[in-house]
Amino acid sequence: MLSHHEKNKRAGNEQVATAKKADRRRFLRRGSFIAGLTAVGSVFSLIPLAPAYASEISTQAVPMSQILQDTQAKQYAQVVITSSAYQQFKQKLRQGYAGDLILQEQNAVAFLITIEQSKFVSVQIPIQGEVGYSHYIGLFEWGSHNVMMSQSAVFIHEGEQNIHCVREYNGNVVFDAIVTPQGNVVKGVAQVGNNMKAIDGLTSRQMLSQAVPLTGCDFFGCFGNCWNNQGLPGWAIAGLGFLCGASCIFKVLCAPCVLAALGAYSIFSGYCYGICVHCIGS
């Protein structure tokens, strides 16, 4: 027989476990992409967040990002929204996904990204529903109104906890997989070279390291370690190496791709980029 104290202790443990499970489910379902943008503020300086890394990061290596306002933002957003690539994605979203997903064109946000001497504009159109943080992105060189690159990410609930993640680069699927909350692949395919290959069972770390032959260094492995050390969700960077591996052969293209892909977490992704970019060519 359990004592009165032991019964109370067991009941308390069960309540904590139930609360943690509920919190985890609420996290996966909460908010949309814009909620994350609001949390990081309208203008941020990407201050290092982990003192342990303070000596490893160069201020010049950290991309700076700020939200464009008014006329400029609207002009860039309009170019993306009226582009044929976006319209094709919009049609695909309506017909190709079972989840409840709604493009929020009225909430489009344009970011000015500065990395060393280069400037880019990233227009991010949030997609409301399902896990949250789904988005479509058009990237420009600063001063140009020609979309130089587009990418999208869709996150849909799969069962109780897993997430179906689909990433596209310039309209082509580069990652389509069911992943765990930690970012490990249950089942899926990804673009490796010029072909789509099965990646069933790959861990998050193994996926991030797939881009090593392209970058010549383990930039994405380093990035993943930094990301995990911030306590951020592994599923949010699922497929990042496949998406940005080719871009990250060069620093000037790597930062815009990575920061655009993780727009809701820009303050963290910019910081981790600054720590890990030292091994990428100029």
pLDDT in tens, 126-180: 999 988 889 999 999 999 999 999 999 999 999 989 999 999 999 999 999 999 9
8-state DSSP, 62: S
What SS3 state is found at 172? strand
Average pLDDT for residues 75-96, to the nearest whole number?
94
Task: Of 119, 163, 118, give the one whose Cα is nearest residue 282.
Answer: 118
The rounded distance, in Å, linking the Cα atoms of 255 and 244 is 9
| pTM, to two decimals | 0.77
Of residues 76 and 270, more confidence is placed in 76
What is the pLDDT, as a whole number, of residue 60?
53
Instruction: State the pairing for strand pair 185-192/162-169.
Output: unpaired
Beta-bridged to residue 44, according to DSSP, are 65
Q: What is the pLDDT of residues 27-70, one digit of tens each?
A: 333 333 333 333 333 222 233 333 334 344 454 567 777 889 88
Q: What is the pLDDT of residues 232-248, one digit of tens each?
A: 889 999 999 999 988 88
| pLDDT category of residue 207 using cuts at 50, 70 and 90 | confident
Report the amino acid identity of residue 252: V
What is the pLDDT, as a whole number, of residue 275?
86
Other beta carbons less than 10 A from residue 249's beta carbon:
15
| pLDDT category of residue 282 using cuts at 50, 70 and 90 | low
Q: What is the pLDDT of residues 105-139, one digit of tens each?
A: 999 999 998 887 889 999 999 999 988 889 999 99
